[in-house]
Amino acid sequence: MKNFKCLLSLVLAAAFVFCASNSFAQSNNCRDENGNVKKGGIALTRDDENGNHNTPTAALSYPKFDGGNKAMYRYIYKNQQYPQNLKSRGISGQSQVQFMVNTDGTISDVELFKSSGYKEFDDEAIRIVKSFPKWVPAKQDCQEIPFKTVVTIPFDAARTKN
């Protein structure tokens, strides 16, 4: 127990030092076509050797499914075709699929990132990702950029309807 308290004290001290020398700041606000300020993202900033706060120069916002994760998983469950041979045996699992979100929000370069252990789940996960509607692309310095991302496609035998 004494060793645990000592380790905890060291971790808390390191966290304090990190927080004291770093902060989070809004970076590179963008303006829309009407001149209204839109957020560009958040970035970790660091004070320089003189203690002056440096504003980050390159904010990054990650790609996202239009409507967020909740909407994405609604889409997945609505469009999922659960493999019947696995459903009838009550088998569940998850596949991870990697893909590129292009600057126009389209999906490309879809490939299996981590297998569920069942080819049927993996094939269905790839099919679902290929059917995704356009995403909100990633941005860096207010410019859309291509960005590779990974999504986990769950297969829950108890939840499925078909």
Query: Tens of pLDDT along 89-104?
Result: 999 999 999 999 999 9
Residue 39 lies in a domain: yes
Alpha carbon 15 to its chain centroid, in Å, reads 25
Q: Which residue has the higher pLDDT, 76 or 1?
A: 76
pLDDT above 60 (res 4): no
Close Cβ partners of 101 (under 8 Å, ≥ 6 residues apart): 63, 107, 135, 137, 138, 146, 147, 148, 149
User: Is there a single domain that holds both residue 102 and residue 117?
Assistant: yes
User: Is there a single domain that holds both residue 101 and residue 151?
Assistant: yes
Which pLDDT tens digit goes with each residue over 63-91? 999 999 999 999 999 999 999 999 999 99
pLDDT above 80 (res 140): yes
Residue 77 lies in a domain: yes
The Cα 155–Cα 162 span in angstroms is: 12
Which pLDDT tens digit goes with each residue over 51-64? 666 655 567 899 99
Say how many C-beta atoms besides its own lie within 10 A of residue 48's C-beta. 8
Residue 162 lies in a domain: no
For the domain that residue 134 is a member of, what is the CATH number?
3.30.2420.10
User: Is there a single domain that holds both residue 87 and residue 21?
Assistant: no
Q: Which pLDDT score is estimated for 20?
A: 39
Number of domains in the chain: 2
User: In which domain, by residue range, is 142 found?
Assistant: 64-155
User: Is there a single domain that holds both residue 51 and residue 112?
Assistant: no
Residue 117 lies in a domain: yes
Alpha carbon 128 to its chain centroid, in Å, reads 17
